Amino acid sequence: MQPYELTLVQAAEALRARRLSPVELLDSVLQRMEQVEPHLQAYATVTADRARRAARAAEKEIAAGRHRGPLHGIPMGLKDLIDVAGLPTSAGSRVRAGHRARTDSTVAARLAAAGAVLIGKTHTHEFAYGLITPQTRNAHRGDRVAGGSSGGSAVAVAAGTATFALGTDTGGSIRVPAALNGVVGLKPTYGLVSRHGVTPLSWSLDHVGPLTRTVEDAALVLTALAGHDPRDPACLPGPAENYRPGEDTDLTGLRVGVPRSYFFDRVDGEVEAAVRAALGRLEDLGARLVEIEIPLSRYIQATHWGLMVPEATACHEDTLRTVPGLYRSDVRVLLEAGALMSAADHLRAQRSRALMRREWTRVLDEVDLVAAPTVPVTAVKAGQETITWADGTVEGVAEAYVRLCCPANITGFPSLSVPVGHDEAGLPIGMQLLARPLGERVLLRAGHAYQQTQPAPAGALAPVVGDRSTAGSCGT
């Protein structure tokens, strides 16, 4: 096994025991990047020289007995919405040409303090306003979409060009690309992780979280990220916690809610079969499956739209007026649509969200988790705009990908996407777990137990092969 193939937990233990040095680990990741990045285009900016300096410093500190913890010396990627002092934050847009951050975002500063080594900034759909990330190709099949908007981060982790990465999630933008590329994606509770220094899309829906190869890896990153930050008004009070799950795989007593409706409506048969098989595995581990109804399901997508669209337009009001031609057409249309929505529409969406939070809280008083598909279909072909379901319903690709993820953004509840198999084409399938606010521990416990008892080891890299990875473009 090459160093770039190690999960975060494996790499951290090797570094701590000094069986591997941070420089050796970084060199392996950079060599991997030379091999596959031309095919995948996961990165907007690569900071190799900066990373080498940081890796050498980490090597010296660890040798001197000043080991900072499990992220010390670990190569990471940051979505190109996250400020790092002196580096561009392009947000995937010509609107940001020439922009350089003056200070670190809170999450970048916390990861740097933990000793993580920044290897580059990963591609995002423009201003995170999309579910495709057209610059980047899927890690498993180059003719398929990477998902978005954190597509670059997911692909980098899946391909071995970062040991972990950060993304942002407004309607599924961590979990969608995680599911489509076969990695773990965690959207924490709203306010658990600071968004200070992160380019916003929708202030009341935005979250920052990790993409990793295993659930245990995600827990380590969350431990470094979480904690109060007064510079983010939505950030929750309270000290940071250790989220690393134990090794016990016994889930006896855990009540897992299985939706009768909404989450299994208009879902590909192979996706549903894989998720139901994973549910069976949770049951084998002692969990009790409980059928539940999803409250107010007919209002979910309208509520998400009514919150996100006007808030995004407000964020871009000045540049939309002065330089509209610098936006991609798909993003500009959405921003212009937001200007047509009334204050009454936005207030109705806020009232709907309040009702949903109340009703979802009632559901999660009866069960500990809700389990469902992350997305209804695996990665579609690049350029495909719609999906036709068996009942003849035609749905836009972006709408399909956001449909099952946005309830966790509306409510602010934590959600974890875990790989649970592949379809006949070899494309990954993800299962989504949702918990009550600040329920990250139970999410991570259940996800980790599932991964620990699978026949194939968790954290395997995507089979990136030149002739498959270059078999098309993810541009639209």
The SS3 assignment for 473 reads coil
**Whole-model pTM over 0.85:** yes
Instruction: For residue range 388-442, list pLDDT tens digits in order.
Output: 999 999 999 999 999 999 999 999 999 999 999 999 999 999 999 999 999 999 9
Structure tokens that stand for 9 in this block: 């937990």
SS3 content of the chain, % helix, strand, coil (to 5): 40, 15, 45
Length reported for the chain: 476
- What is the spatial distance between Cα 108 and Cα 104, in angstroms, rounded to a whole number? 6
Both tokens of 135, joined, read: 């610059």
The catalytic residue positions are 79, 149, 173
Q: What is the pLDDT of residues 185-229, one digit of tens each?
A: 999 999 999 999 999 999 999 999 999 999 999 999 999 999 999
- Contact by Cβ (8 Å): 394, 369: no
pLDDT at 250 over 50: yes
The per-residue pLDDT for range 136-162, each reduced to its tens digit, is 999 999 999 999 999 999 999 999 999
Beta bridge mates, 395 = 387
Question: CA dist 122 to 91, 149, 212, Å?
Answer: 10, 10, 14
Going 251 to 283 to 409 to 151, the CA torsion angle's sign is positive
pLDDT at 295: 97
| Element of type H or E holding 255 | strand 255-259
Torsion-angle region of residue 225: left (phi > 0), alpha (psi -120 to 50) or beta? alpha
Name, in order, each residue with C-beta under 8 angstroms of 450's C-beta and a sequence gap of 6 or more.
Answer: 215, 278, 281, 282, 285, 418, 420
Q: What is the pLDDT of residue 457?
A: 81
Tell me the backbone φ, ψ of residue 263, rounded to 5 degrees.
Answer: -70, -20
The whole-angstrom separation of Cα 70 and Cα 50 is 20
> What is the token pair recorded at 311?
């808030």
Measured distance CA(187)–CA(2) in Å, rounded: 29
Quick one: tokens of 184?
């773990």
DSSP letter string, 443-459: HHHHHHHHHHT-SSPTT
What pLDDT, on a 0 to 100 scale, did the predictor assign at position 239?
A: 83
Question: Could you tell me if 155 and 40 are in contact, meaning their C-beta atoms sit under 8 angstroms apart?
Answer: yes
- Burial classification of residue 248, based on how many CB atoms lie within 10 Å of its CB (0-12 exposed, 13-18 middle, 19 or more buried): exposed
Nearest to 409 by CA among 429, 444, 434: 434
